[in-house]
Structure 1
């Protein structure tokens, strides 16, 4: 379960960074924040 959450978190953060480079600042920040919540935060919540 932890590995799956970390993979999802990495994908979200990378997608957020790509959105920032495309100029979609708000969407990029949202994706990065959700990725950080799913990764370290999600792992600590679910375990």
Structure 2
């Protein structure tokens, strides 16, 4: 389960970075924050 959460977090953070590069700053920040909240490392809402 932790591996799946880690994969999901990586995908969300990468999507957030891509959104930032494309100019969608708010959506990029939201995706990065959600990715950090879901991921098992650091802060996680599932701990």
For normalisation by structure 2, the TM-score amounts to: 0.88
- Per residue, is there more helix in 1 or in 2? 1
Q: Give yes or no for the alignment of 1:31 onto 2:31.
A: yes
Q: Across the two proteins, how many residue pairs are aligned to each other? A: 44
The 2-side partners of 1:11 and 1:42 are apart by: 17
The structure, 1 or 2, with the larger RCO (C-alpha pairs under 8 Å, 6+ apart) is: 1
Structure 2 runs not aligned, ≥5 long: none
Detail structure 1 runs of 4+ shifted over 6 Å in the superposition. Answer: none
Cα root mean square deviation, aligned: 1.1
Give per-residue Cα distances to partners, 1:1-47, cap 9 Å, x unaligned: 0000000000000000000000000000000000000003145x1xx
Match of 2:12 in 1: 12
